[in-house]
Every structure is written in C-alpha cells, then in structure tokens.
Amino acid sequence: MKIAIGGDHGAVVLKSKVVELLETLGHTTQDFGTFSEVSCDYNDFAYLAAKSVADGINDRAIVICSTGIGVSIVANKVAGIRCALVTDTNQARLTREHNNTNALALGVMNTSMETALEIVKIWMDTPFSNEERHIRRINKIDSIGRDYHIYKAENIVFGMSLKNEQYIENNNMALYTALDKEGVIENRKRLFSSMGILENQVVFPNQTHSNNVVKVTKNDGGKGFNDENGIPNCDALYTFEKNVVLNVFHADCVPVMLYDKNNTVVAIAHSSQIATEKQLVVELIKQLNQEGISSKELVAYVGVGVSDVDGKRLSDIVVEQLQACGVENITQSKENTDTDDYFSFKLNDHERHVSFIYRK
C-alpha cells in the first residue's frame, strides 16, 4: 500500500522510525514532513497527508504530534477521512476491524517507541471485518455534515442527495420539475463540489420511463448539468471509465446502482413503475452480460422507493428482476419515499433527488 505520513517537530524521530517500518513491511511512503525539530504547526503536515488519501493518491495516512490529538482533529476535518487516535494495540486492531479507519494518529507523549511501532504494524495488517453492521455505521459517519448519503466499496462511490440540507430550504436536483432552475443548478454545484467532482465529470440522462440503456464515456461528461440536454431518451447508464459520474433523478421511482467485483464497470438505472414493467434492469443486465460482465460478479444497491404498487413495494419487484438475471449480491433499502424524509410524487412533491455512482 501507499502510505502518507506527516507530523510536527515533536514527531520527527518517531516518524522516521515509522517510515522505516512501513518500508520493511513492503509498503511505499510519502513523507509530507516536517523534517526538522524547529517548532512548527502540526496542522500543515497532517492536512497534506490526510488530503492525499481523500484524493486517492495514497491508501492510508499516519499522522503524529506530541499528543496525537491535534493531528487527529485535523485529519478528521478532511471529507472521507476516518482517523483514530490510538494508544494501544487492541485499539489498533478494533479501529480497523470495526471502523475501517484510513488514518492513524499517534502521540509521542502517549506511547513508547516500541508500542507505537507495534500499533502501526497491527493497524496495517488488520483487515476491515466487512460486517453489515459496521458498513452501515461507517456509511452514516461518512454522510454526517453532507446533503447526501454516501456509500463506498473499494474504489466505488455511490449515494443520493437528501431532501433538505441543513441550510438549504429546497434541495431539488431536477431541472425538468423546477420553477427555480438557477436554484437547481446551484444545488448540483454544491453537491458535486463537496465531493471534489467537476461538472465535466457528471452525466445526466433525459429520463422517459423507458427500458433504454446507454453506454457513456468521458466524452459525455457535463451533459445535462446546466441544461436539460442530457443523454436523450434513456433511463439507465453504464461506463467502463473512471471518474465518470452517472446519475438518475427520482422521487418514488427506484434508483439502482451496480458495479462489478473486479471494479471495471459502474451502472445506474431509474426504475420507475413504468420502466420496471418494461424490465429496465433486465435490459441493463443483459447489456452488461454482452460486455462480458457476469451477473454473479455484479453487486447491486436498490434504493428507496414508493411503498405500494399493486400491493408490493416497487423496490421488491426490482430485486426480483435482478435475482432472475442471476445477480446474487443485492443490498436493498428498507425505507419508503412516501414519508416526510423524501421527495414523493405520491405526496404531491414536484422535486427530485439525484442518485449517483462512479469509479475512482
């Protein structure tokens, strides 16, 4: 793995020993300093190390100061970072197994050199448990302070916008339902910029409740962001390219996000009642199969949807269709849109959420 490391003047000696240990264990390091015992601010170095992980440059970060408190606070201010201040080997193990931490904070005053190095070794060697309860809790952590739910798996990021952001009265994401189109565009800019995503990476479809599926590339980036000229007449998108952010709009309709276990493809579908009757996800899986992607290799997330369509939840019908196509790894939201927590056409809302997926 590629490990970023940073610390202040009090961390210089321990930091150098940690670098030696990591390289002995077969990892590569990027040392952001400091390299002198002249007094300096821990903030500068901890931030650079943590940001490099959030940006995908490094896999994990180790940050060090006298107590470990300051650097841990700085690291946790970086979106996407889960940093733990660890003082013993049991904490090192648990923070990886339960919290899937991607940053470790050490305090020179809190641990001996021997203990600190043992903490690093255990933290590096311990895998995340991948238990559903821990995944659920981590996703909730990553969504705090944002106007979207976000989920992560390996290099895959997916999620959906929320109905109300803390300071935004109307978080509508769809131009085709908007009276205030400039407000929608501002909502989109705020959402994607908060994730470090550029406008020219984002692709929107012009949804028509169809079973049409379109393969997109980086050349499609930016389509539909500032206008209604998205990918025409389609309700599902897929791509094999990195950093192409696929989106669908929805209220009571069910968003479906898919990726394969080999991290080569991502896909998204807007499975409305009409599109579900037309078996949109079946057509999407069929096209992915034709591209050489096995159904058994696919991982699907079936999002929130309307609670009752002819006596069944719409998302239950979508899950049945996925299973009939041979998709085995399916996670399904248990929530319904016809509540105050979501936009719902059934409840006379004209606004829409956006769901998204991309591969880093």
Locate 48 and state its tokens: 């650079």
Answer yes or no: 250 catalytic: no
Per DSSP (E only), the strands in 251-316 are 254-260, 266-271, 298-302
* Residue 247 to residues 9, 71, 81, Cα–Cα distance (Å): 46, 36, 24
Q: Is 355 within 8 Å of 255 (Cβ atoms)?
A: yes
User: b/e for 130-149, b at 16 or more Cβ within 10 A?
Assistant: eeeeebeebeeebeeebbbb
Choice among 65, 83, 234, 253 that is catalytic: 65
CA distance 40 to 38: 6
Answer yes or no: 65 catalytic: yes
Choice among 27, 40, 98, 134 that is catalytic: 98
DSSP 8-state code for residue 178? -
Q: Which of 87, 193, 192, 83 is nearest to 142 (CA)?
A: 83
CA distance 32 to 37: 14
Q: Is 355 within 8 Å of 247 (Cβ atoms)?
A: yes
Q: Is 300 within 8 Å of 327 (Cβ atoms)?
A: yes
Residue numbers annotated as active site: 65, 98
